[in-house]
Structure 1
Amino acid sequence: MAKTPSEAPRPVNFDRIARPYRWLEYGTLGPLLQRTRVYFLPQMLDCRQALVLGDGDGRFVAELLRRNERVRVDAVDTSGAMLALLERRARSERVTTHRLQAMDYVPEAGTDLVATHFFLDCLTQAEVDALALRVAGGLVPGGLWVVSDFRIPAGVMRWPARFYVGMLYRVFGFLTGLHVRRLPDHVAALTAAGLTRIGLRRRLFGVLTSELWRADGNGVLQ
């Protein structure tokens, strides 16, 4: 049965949280999310063409540009307000913004870095599976994909983490109309797309994870 207009879900809109986004983040986990984003920056200093999906207000992009003086960045987001903040923070001609769905963007030739920081958790499993195949196909051999995200750890922290992540989903669902309520398995998606995880850093008892993946799957980063 088709939904009536009153029953249809609200369209997802991150514009309304763009300006307070940084402070909402600090109010929940302080600097931990930004530390998670930038953990693998030292491994990105030789990258030249980056695709950044859903960077929010642009703090990762700004730091990447500061640390890597030759990289060019394509930043993709559906939120015009978030992209405006990103451009203002980056202040660089090396950044090109694209307001569209991630699945609608075709990576530039020579893309050797993909960054998805707290973005894949806004997608369904089917969307993450499809995005991984599409974007990984545009990575050069040896190209990197860095992921920051929430995870549900095993052991004693499993149920507190499930409660906390569930609460975050409910809050962001109320503020933005986001309908996703469950973390997708990005590890399975990236593995199926032919990438190998070469770096891993967990924080907050495993609730936060920084991961570095490589397209050719050779070797392990120490």
Structure 2
Amino acid sequence: MNLEPNFNSIARPYRWLEYLTLGRALERCRLHFLPLLLDQKRALVIGDGDGRFLASLMAANHHIQVDAVDTSATMLELLSKRCKGSTTRLQIHNTSALTFAPTGPYDLVVTHFFLDCLAQPDLEALVNRIAPTLSPGALWLISDFRIPSGSMRLPGRIIVRTLYLAFRLLTGLRTTHLPDHAAPLIQAGLTRIGHHHSLAGLLTTELWQLERSLPLHSPHLNQ
């Protein structure tokens, strides 16, 4: 039995479903750290969906080479169309990130709203698979849902639980709660150098960096 979620059925309407439910919040989250990615040379982009972020990245960074990985052939079709002006710099891989063999060296990894689709053991296995292919000082950009603190904690739990249920019905996604991505990243030698919360703390975008002699500094990191 295939336990992989199938996002093909929601690929084409996904953009509008996202806008109807959360407006442009996820899009702003994905693009928040884009100005800091203009010098990267080779990226591994996993689960970018219909490719809105990747199209923006490749338009802003004219020399970056990208491996794009997704299990959904329809999502990758949409991604390819959005990046049609940059196809010579783009390699498409229609496979699971958990079995994909990264070659590297990558100085950028991007996982927008993807790690929250993984169970904790799979997330840890993915980090351990990718970490050896990172170059010194490589960046890992993550956007995910989170459970806010304070008065928004209970509403946040309800929203996240509802989203997991919806994706289970629509795609067969079996994950039921948010995994902890920080612990395996830290164990792999990465440090969080920037973060930004939005929607009252329900969304987070984070920039992590593999250890090197000098950390990246920017006033844009924690806003």
Bin of the TM-score, shorter chain as denominator length: over 0.9
After superposition, the Cα gap between the structure-2 partners of 1:34 and 1:135, relative to the gap in structure 1 and judged at 3 Å, is: same
Matches for 1:97-136 after TM superposition, within 5 Å: 97-136=92-131
- Alpha-carbon deviation of 1:95? 1.0
Q: Which amino acid is 1:43 matched to?
A: L
Shift of the alpha carbon at 1:71? 0.3
Match for residue 3 of structure 1? none
Instruction: Determine helix, strand or coil for the equivalent of 2:126.
Output: helix
Q: Corresponding residue for 2:30?
A: 37
Q: How many residues were matched structurally?
A: 215
- Indicate the residue corresponding to 2:18 in structure 1: 25
Q: Deviations over 1:78-120 (max 9, x none)?
A: 0100000000111022111001110222223321000000000
Please say if 1:171 is aligned against 2:178: no
Whether the aligned pair in 2 keeps the contact of 1:199 and 1:220 (CA below 8 Å) is: no
CA contact (8 A) 1:49 1:71 kept: yes
SS in 1 for 2:136: coil
Once residues 160 and 102 of structure 1 are traced to their aligned partners in structure 2, the CA distance between those partners, rounded to angstroms, is: 31
Q: Distance in 2 between matches of 1:203 and 1:80?
A: 31
1:1-222 mapped onto 2 (5 Å cutoff): 11-91=4-84, 92=86, 93-216=88-211, 219=215, 221=217, 222=219
Aligned residues of 1:77 and 1:98 also touching (Cα < 8 A): yes
- Using structure 1 for the length normalisation, give the TM-score: 0.93
Identity fraction in percent? 53
Shift in CA distance, 160/220, structure 1 to aligned 2, threshold 3 Å: farther
Output the CA distance in 1 between the equivalents of 2:216 and 2:65. 26
Unaligned 5+ residue runs, structure 2?
none
What's the counterpart of residue 5 of structure 1? none
The DSSP-based 3-state class of the residue aligned with 1:66 is: helix
Deviation at 1:167, TM superposition (A): 0.3
Q: Secondary structure of 1:206's partner?
A: coil
Q: Secondary structure of the equivalent of 2:98?
A: helix
CA distance in 1, matches of 2:215, 2:58: 27
Distance in 1 of aligned mates of 2:17 and 2:138: 33
Partners of 1:11 and 1:144 lie apart in 2 by 28
State the shift of 1:137 in Å: 1.6
Gaps spanning 5+ residues in structure 1: where? 1-7
Runs of 4+ in 1 over 6 A off after TM superposition: none
SS at match of 2:91: strand
Contact kept, 8 Å, 1:153 with 1:206, in 2: the verdict is yes
SS across alignment from 2:208: strand
SS of equivalent residue, structure 1 residue 50: strand
